[in-house]
Amino acid sequence: MQLYPLCLADFEAKGIQTNSLLKHQPEELIMKSPKRIAITGAAGQIGYALVFRIANGDLLGPDQPIILHLLDLPHASGALRGISMELEDCAFPLLDKVVISDDPHVAFRDVDIAILVGAQPRKKGMERIDLLEANASIFVEQGRALNAVANRSVKVLVVGNPANTNALIAMTAAPDLDRSCFSAMIRLDQNRAQAMLASHLDKPVDSISQLIVWGNHSPTMFADYRFALVYGHSVPFVIQNEQWNREVFIKTVAQRGTAIIEARGQSSAASAANAALDHMRDWVCGSNDRWVSMALPSDGSYDIEEGIFFGVPTICRSGSIERIRDLDINAFARERLQLAQDELRQERDAIRHLLV
């Protein structure tokens, strides 16, 4: 992708007088060419919490122009038009253009980033796996469309539940895209775990590092602080309470989505949008050596069956994701990883007919 000159020195090297340029519109001189970002389900509650923040530069930074591609179902076309009008009325300097569509082949054309949110949310009394039947086919269609028209290095994040298995469906439907283009979201669980640990330790959230959430975005997820540090000290050593870990911490993190539905009557939206931004920002811009959990197609590490999307610890650098390997898996951790793997295999087997 061609970039416009990034600094005035580039102009001076070409013999162009920069004084006169500066007097006019210096900000135009430092603009990069726009990145195309697709958001599906943009008219829904997560979509509404996401698009304005992206247009404000919260995802790609203050010098990266953006073209937003908003996809939703035909019945939501009025709502999409309204969002597009509101985006215009925000006069975001970074927002170059908004494309709205109910056709994934239009919405995904040439996109650099795709955040797949559009899917039914669960209601009280449901588990995320209960959404599999309603939502799975969406990801066949969208995987195919990404395969046909997206940028070949597109970064895809699946948020719509059940996110891990929907990501598997989308990836399988996009055989011409590299597997490394696909991920599913477990970052909301990491953020929840980090906030809960910080509160328990009465320390700021950013004093905690190396926290992991393994497995599925479901009640089998395993929030693991065995390697976590608080201000550089070992969290398990500081807490010294394995019962709290097993009976309170892991369970509360795993049930937080349900607790929010019970309190709000609807599933989390702003915190989910925030986690999607965190996930994608780290992937694109790098995680500054911080460990971040992402659900990725398993490469067989930690003895997890290849292919299924499994939350693992990573570090992101310059647009690519490096898995953190060879961490010790003790008997309890193995039991938890096994539980998540069994559930993900079951989900995969239930939609095997869609893995085409």
Ligand X SMILES: O=C([O-])CC(=O)C(=O)O
Residues forming contacts to ligand X in the complex (CB under 6 A) are: 121-122, 128, 161, 188, 257, 260-261, 267-268, 272
- CA torsion through residues 250, 257, 279, 230, sign: negative
Q: Where are the alpha helices (DSSP H) in the chain?
A: 8-13, 18-23, 26-29, 45-55, 77-90, 104-107, 132-149, 163-172, 187-201, 235-239, 242-244, 250-254, 256-264, 270-285, 331-350
Residue 25 labelled as part of a binding site: no
Instruction: Give the Cα separation of 120 and 48 in Å (integer).
Output: 15
Interaction of residue 138 with ligand NAI, rule CB under 6 A: yes
CA-CA distances (angstroms) from residue 159 to 139, 196, 231, 271, 301? 11, 22, 31, 12, 24
Interaction of residue 160 with ligand NAI, rule CB under 6 A: yes
Least Å distance, CB 194 to ligand NAI, is 15
Return the number of the residue (67 or 83) whose C-beta is nearest ligand NAI. Answer: 83
Return the number of the residue (55 or 158) whose C-beta is nearest ligand X. Answer: 158
Among ligand NAI, ligand X, none, what does residue 260 contact (CB within 5–8 Å per kind)?
A: ligand X
Least Å distance, CB 161 to ligand X, is 5
Phi, psi of 261 (to 5 degrees): -60, -40
Residue 142 labelled as part of a binding site: yes
Residue 82 labelled as part of a binding site: no
Which member of 217, 233, 279, 353 is catalytic?
217
> For the window 80-119, what string marks contact with ligand NAI as x by the rule CB under 6 A?
-------------------------------------xxx
User: Using CB atoms, what's the residue nearest to ligand X?
Assistant: 257
Closest C-alpha to 142, from 116, 112, 168: 116
- CA torsion through residues 9, 15, 19, 24, sign: negative
Residue 122 labelled as part of a binding site: yes
Q: What is the distance, to the nearest Å, from the Cα of residue 271 to the centroid of all Cα atoms in its chain? A: 12
Residues 6+ apart with CB under 8 A from 122: 128, 130, 131, 161, 261, 267
The two tokens of residue 294 are 């992402």
> For the window 246-285, what string marks contact with ligand NAI as x by the rule CB under 6 A?
---------------------xxx--x-------------
Residue 144 labelled as part of a binding site: no
Least Å distance, CB 267 to ligand X, is 4
Q: DSSP secondary-structure letter at 346?
A: H
Residue 159 labelled as part of a binding site: yes
217 among known catalytic residues? yes
Closest C-alpha to 189, from 225, 230, 148: 225
Phi, psi of 122 (to 5 degrees): -85, 160
Closest C-alpha to 273, from 102, 50, 15: 50
Interaction of residue 72 with ligand NAI, rule CB under 6 A: yes
Residue 151 labelled as part of a binding site: no
> For the window 45-64, what string marks contact with ligand NAI as x by the rule CB under 6 A?
xxx-----------------
Least Å distance, CB 192 to ligand X, is 8
Interaction of residue 73 with ligand NAI, rule CB under 6 A: yes
Instruction: Give the Cα separation of 224 and 218 in Å (integer).
Output: 15
Interaction of residue 145 with ligand NAI, rule CB under 6 A: no
Binding piece for ligand NAI, criterion CB under 6 A, among 11-19, 20-28, 155-163, 328-336: 155-163
Residue 78 labelled as part of a binding site: no
State which amino acid sits at residue 301. Answer: S
Binding piece for ligand NAI, criterion CB under 6 A, among 59-67, 158-166, 224-232, 339-347: 158-166
Q: Are 83 and 51 in contact (CB under 8 A)?
A: yes
Catalytic residue IDs:
217
List of residues contacting ligand NAI (CB under 6 A): 40-41, 43-47, 71-73, 76, 117-122, 131, 138, 159-161, 163, 185, 188, 217, 267-269, 272
